[in-house]
Structure 1
Amino acid sequence: MTYNTDPDAAEYEARRLQALADYQILDTPEASAFDDLVEVLSLICEAPIAIVNFIDRDRQWFKSVKGLAVRETPRDISICAHAILQRGLFIVPDTTLDPRFASNPLVTGDPHLRFYAGALLESRDGYPLGTLCVLDYRPRELSERQRFALQALANQVMAHMELMYAHREQVELISELEATRNELAKLATTDPLTGLLNRRAFEQRLDQEVSLIKRGAPPAALMLIDLDHFKTVNDTLGHKAGDEVIVRFTELCREAFRQADVIGRWGGDEFMVMLPRSSVVEAWHAAERLHQLLAITPMRDNDTPACFSTASIGVCSLNGSGNMEECLHRTDELLYRAKELGRNRTVCESEGTPSPP
C-alpha cells in the first residue's frame, strides 16, 4: 500500500513538503539526541552506515549521519525517496539485484552501497518525511530483533521531533501571551485617543518623581494645561472635530516638550506635563514654545477659515516640600488664575516669572 492515494500527486507532494517544513528541521545543526540514536542503531544492526534523513523537494538531507562524509544527496539518486512511498520497513537485501537501484551511481560507484533498510519517519497527520536507515557495503538481512530496533528507534526520532515542535509552539505561545500582556498593560496606562499616559498612569509616574526628589533627586516642574474654549469646538463642529483638535494638540505637545518630559491626558481637554530636572522658569520657556506653536498651527486640516486654539497653563515646582496631592492642587489653582487673567497665558508659582500676554 503506497501513500500516493491522492489523485493529484503534485498537490499531495506539496502537502507533504509543508508538513516537513512545519517541523523546521531542515538545515539545522547536528544534535546529540539524533546522533546518539544513529550510533545505537549502527551498533544494534551492525551496519557501518546509519542516517536520519529527510526528503526535501530536490534533495535528501541528513540530520544525523554515521559512516558517510556528506550531509545531503540529490533526491533522484536517493534510496530513501523510494522508502517513503510505502508503509512499514523498506528493506533491499542486495541493491545490485533490484532493478530500481542496480544502476544507481551510489551502487555502481563510490561508496558501492549493497544493502539498505529504512523505517519511515511519519508526521502526526500521516505524511512521510524521511527515514531512519542503515546501509552496508555487502548484501545481507536484518534479524527480527534488528528490525524491531530499527522501527523503535525511528519512533524515538519522531517522538523527539514532536517534543521540539511542541516546545517551539510553547515558546511562540508564551511570546504571544507576553505581547498580549504588554498590549493590555499599554491599554491600561494610555489614553486611547492620544496615546499619552492616562490620568492613573500619570499620577503613578508623578508620585515616583516626588519620592525621588524627596530622596535627593533634582527638583522638577509640573504643568497643567487647558485648551481654551474647547467645549465650543465640540458644540459647533461635533465630537469628531473635537477629537481631531485633541490629537493635533498632542502632536504640538510632543514637539514643544523634551523626550524626557512626561505628558498625560488629565481628562477631556486638560493635559498634565511633568518636566524632570527643570525649574519653573525652564518650564515657562517650554510653555512659551507651546503657545507659539498654537499661534501658527491650524488645529484641523482643510478648515476655511483655519481653526486655531489657545491654551491656559499653570506651572508649579516639584521640590519635595509637599506630597503629590498638594502639588496637583497648587497647579490647578495656577491654571484657574491663568483663566481669570483672560486665558491664552501661563501663570507660574514663583513671583516675578513672566507670563506671555
Structure 2
Amino acid sequence: MSYPIAPDEDARLVVLYELELLDTPEEPAFDRVTRLVAKLLSVPISSVTLVDAERQWFKSSIGFESRETPRDVAFCAYTVTVAEPFIVEDASQDPRFAQNPLVTAPGGIRFYVGIPLRSLQGLVLGSLCALDTKPRVISSDELAALQDLAAIVTDELHLRERLVVEKKNTQASQQALDELYRSMECQIERRTNELNLVIESAYDAYISLDAQDVILDWNRAAEMMFGWPRKAALAKPITQLIFPTGLPAANDRAAIEFTAHRYDGNELPVEVRVKKLVIEGRERRSLFIHDITERQQLERLRNQQAREDVLTKLPNRRALDERLPEAMARTRRSQQPLAVLFMDLDGFKAINDAHGHAKGDDLLRVIAKKLVKTIRETDYIARWAGDEFVVLLEGSEPTAIEQLANKLVKVVEEPMIAGDAALNVSVSIGVALYLPASAETANELLKRADVAMYEAKRSGKAQVRIALSVDNAS
C-alpha cells in the first residue's frame, strides 16, 4: 500500500529524531492523555503516535497490542500531511483505506480522527488519534475536547524541544569555552588583544580577578547580566557586587551552580566556571558565568506537570507515591498516627452517561475543591485515578479521623447544579491506620484502605469503613 509524503518530510524527520522520543518507555504525561481520549470519546482505541520514516510508533496507546505498525497501513501517515484534523467516518467506504488490513481484519477499524502534533517550527511529528471499530460521526464538542488534549501533548513536545535546544547550546558553549581555556593557558600573553575581542563578544559573562578577588576585567555580557557598568565594577571586590557570601570553589573541570546578586538586589541562578592562571608570577582567576534562569524554570515546569493531575490540579498518583513513604517515615519518628483515606465516588458513571463527560469533568473539579476546603491545610489529597481520591491525615486521633471521613461523605453528597439539573453522587471511603512499629509498605497500606473502601460499597455505599489492622488482615 502507498501513503502520502509531506513536502517538508526531511525537516520533519530531523526534528523528530532530535527529540529522542522514539522507542522510549511509556510516560505518565502521555498516558494520562490517551486514557482521557478513550474516556471522553468512548472509543476502544487511542494513541499518541509519532510517524517515523517507514513506521508509526506509539509513545502511548490504548487498544493496540503492538508499539508500532508499518507506515503504509497507518491512518496517521495521512494526518502528518494535512493542516487540520484528519477524519474518516467509515474506513470501509473510503477508497484510501477500504483494502487496508487494519480495516479488512475481523473487528477492523472503521472510524478514525487524528489531530496533528506540531513542533515549535510547525512541522507535524505525529498525531493524537482516536479510533473505533464502528462507523461514527464526531461531534463538534468531541472534536474540541480532542484538540484541547492534543494541545497538552503539543506543550509537552515543545517543552522537550526547548530542553534539546538548551542542551545543544550548552554543549556548544562548553566546547567553545574549553577551546578558550586551552588557548589562554598556551598563548595568553601573545594573544591578549584577540582574547579580549572574544571575551567582549561572548554570550556568557566573563570576569577577571586578582589574588585579592578584585575585579580586573568585566565584559559586556557581565554588564547586561548583573547591571553594573564596566567602569563601576573595575577595582571593586567581587564580593561587594555579585557574590556577597564569597566565591565558589575553583574547579577546572566542572561548572558550579551558584547564586549571584544583581545591581537591583535580585538574586540570579548562575553556572560558574573558575579557572586559575599564573601570569608573570601573579595569580589570576577567570570566571565564566552562564545565566541558568530559563533552564531552571523549564525543569520546574516539567516536574510540576509530571506530578499534577490535569483535570483537578490536585497532586496525581505519582506525587502521592512520593509523598506517602515520606509521611510514613515522619510517623515512625514522631509516633503520631497516620491515616490513609481511599475514596471512590458512587454513581459517577451514571452522571457521565446521562449528562456527558464534560459535565462529569466539571463535577470532579467541584468535588476536588470541596474536599480541599474540608480537610486541614496540613493534610494531603491526591487524585488517584478516574473518580478515586486519596487523603493522607497525619497527627489525627482515630476518633477525629472517622469524624472527618463522615464529614467528607456529607460534603460529596451535596448536589452540584448544572443548568436545570442537579448532579448527585456519593462517596465510599476506606480508612487504613498506619502503625509506626509496622513493617507494612506504602503499597500494602494503600491496599488495605482500598479493600475497606470496597467493603463500604458492598455495605450500601456512602459509608466509611475502617480497615482491619495489619495483623488481622494477614
TM-score, scaled relative to structure 1: 0.50
Max Rg structure: 1
Higher relative contact order (CA 8 A, sep 6+): 1
Higher fraction of strand:
2
TM-score (norm 2): 0.38
